[in-house]
Structure 1
Amino acid sequence: MLALSAALWSLAAPAADNAQTDRLALAREYVANAKPHGFLEHLPPPDPDADADRQRLARAVRAMPREVLAQSLAAALAERASLEQLREAAAYARSDAGRFAADCFARMPFAGARGEGCFGSDEDQQPLFAQVVKAQVGVPGQVYQLAAQGMQGAIADALRALMASDDDTRRFFDDYCARQPQAGPCPSLRAPSGATPTAESRIHD
């Protein structure tokens, strides 16, 4: 019996590893096309009347490496979403409607907001609008929300990478988080890098 259990385990482990690898590849593809972090490229300029801390935080957000953020988002999404969900969402993100929605959502003031305002009154865009609305109430919309759940941790990972490469940024956050330990993003910076999603946020295959 022990020999049989060991044999079954040896067969199951590679299958699980392959599924995880496939989920991560699809999650990376999804993040690259859906760009749930795209809103960061459309942030308004820093308020010139803001205090020094706020201006320094704004500069750090603009300077943090986007490739680290995207990788962190993909890793967290691969843990949260199922293989079938990721397949459907990645296919949608590659489509004309998906690309249009990605650009639209990036320009909205709040990530994940519905995209009616992006379509204007152009009748040629109405078919795309119908596809986006359908997707947002289906699996692609669910995956977008799952990706958004990883945003806080991904921003923290990207800021940590910036701190590791820039002493001035590290000194700023060391000082700022000592003075304001509960202010964003300090609690996230204290959390483990790439923290595992909570059980409630996972969706298993």
Structure 2
Amino acid sequence: MILWTLFGYLLGAVPFGIVVTKAMGLGDLRAIGSGNIGATNVLRTGNKTAALATLLLDSGKGAIAVLLARQFGGETAGLLAGGAAFLGHCFPVWLGFRGGKGVATFLGTLGALHWPLGLIACAVWALVAAVARISSLSALIAAALTPVIAWGMGRADIAAVTAFMAALIFIRHHANIRRLLSGTEPRIGRK
């Protein structure tokens, strides 16, 4: 279990936003926009292809960690590797433990742990985004509801892992929460 947890963390710690932007000649992502390494900040480079690639790779690393660990180590290994991949994305050893906010990795991990729950979380995100037009609010509500829904589905194990991830998403979004409370958080599509 320790090896699968370490595998998940190291896979999650790969900073794909930085890798993609450097490979595409877009500069150092940490010096652009918010300085975050996730897909939302990659989009601030103006390159939608780079942002989509980052989104897919960041979500994919969580899913791959879960699927490989579950296949070769069992369900508990999958849960541990998924939680560790998320932790690695948020606090990557390669970047001095300053990583992303974890939403894409959360959704990828969740999709591999329990795909119906992953679809529900994505639907919640999309619904809130369509109504409120605020990405961070969508992520926070989807993350907060996921452990509750998992518990209601009889998956206490997934509820525990997603509660851990949701707590970190809230911690990583502390600046967004302050802006939400003050009414200054930017809306989707607004420059």
Is TM (by shorter chain) over 0.5? no
TM-score (structure 2 length as normaliser):
0.29
Q: Which has the higher contact order (CA 8 A, sep 6+)?
A: 1
TM-score (structure 1 length as normaliser):
0.28
The structure with the larger Rg is 1
